[in-house]
Structure 1
Amino acid sequence: MTTTTVQTDTQLASRLRLAVMRLARILRQKAQDQITPSQLSALVSVERDGPVTLGELAALESVQPPTMTRIVVALEEQGLVLREADPADRRIARVHVTTAGRKLLERNRSRKTAYLASRMRGLSAEELEVLERAAGLLERMTADER
């Protein structure tokens, strides 16, 4: 790989990083729910991987257990998750998503998808094909991350 190629790859990586960050910020704003990004991330993890213990959820979210406890308490206060004793070991509490939590996630996803779909309507067929290929590449690049 030449110096020019490395520099070009670095420049492309920088542009991609900035675009992804902007898009993530815009999508967070479009969600318009009274929930913090940390709470939303935890709620998504509970929906995807739950029911989970606080320790498991902290590991999934890469935060310390006391931090996750605060996040889960806030989600409980909003009625978005529920902690219940594990039937196999009543000393262990497992976090579940409530119906209200599922509705919030669906509303959140719908708003974000609608925003992206509206922005994509302004693209040409050729641009949409490029975007479809780029989405596949991004999915492949992040497939082993979680």
Structure 2
Amino acid sequence: MSVVTPSRHRARTDAAGLGSDLRVSLSRVTRRLRAERGEADLSVGQFGVLTTLLRHGEMSPGALASHEHVKPPSMTRTVNGLVQAGLVEKVEHPTDRRQVVVRLTDVGRREVTETRRRRDAWLAQQLKALTTEERETLARASELLTLIASR
């Protein structure tokens, strides 16, 4: 099997060394994937809010802040920016008129869909350049990374 490793060093298998190598590799891939965007110039946090709303439906700003692990004032700024961009809208809470909920607009939904399409296309193109064995290795690694993330 011919697994691609950087030419400057050999892949380490001890837990600390492998952890360090994986952190660097995953960070690089993540940065590259984030560069593949839809039309809007969104921050990571803004895109996270859009994907949360797509996955879970409308939420109060407080629930969004809790879900995204940020303080409420920060979420208020994020939501207001997304409202100005036409990607989300604030609507009256269904049971408490003192509150609002945030929901995706059609434009926001299209932004998430287009960004995901671009990212998937970029990654698929990179994977095409690998051998079948290399893709099989990455498929197993994907399973293991999902296991690690779920702990």
Deviations 1:101-120 (A, max 9, x none): 01000100000000000000
1:18 aligns with 2:30: no
Tell me how large the CA RMSD over aligned residues is: 1.3
Deviations 1:8-62 (A, max 9, x none): 1100000100011101110111215311111111111122122111110001111
Equivalent in the alignment of 2:110: 103
Equivalent in the alignment of 2:93: 86
Q: 1:128 aligns with which of 125, 132, 135?
A: 135
Amino acid at match of 1:73: N
Q: 1:55 aligns with which of 57, 62, 67?
A: 62
Equivalent in the alignment of 1:30: 36
Q: Secondary structure of the residue that 1:60 maps to in structure 2?
A: helix
What is the aligned length? 138
Amino acid at match of 1:135: S
Equivalent in the alignment of 2:8: none
TM-score with structure 1 setting the length: 0.90
Deviation at 1:74, TM superposition (A): 0.2
Q: Secondary structure of the residue that 2:14 maps to in structure 1?
A: helix
Q: Within 2, Cα distance between the matches of 1:143 and 1:90?
A: 37
Give the structure with the larger helix fraction. Answer: 1
TM-score with structure 2 setting the length: 0.87
Amino acid at match of 2:92: A
The ranges of structure 1 where at least 4 consecutive aligned residues each deviate by more than 4 angstroms after the TM superposition are: none
Structure 2: which 5+ runs fail to align? 1-12
Q: 1:72 aligns with which of 62, 79, 93?
A: 79
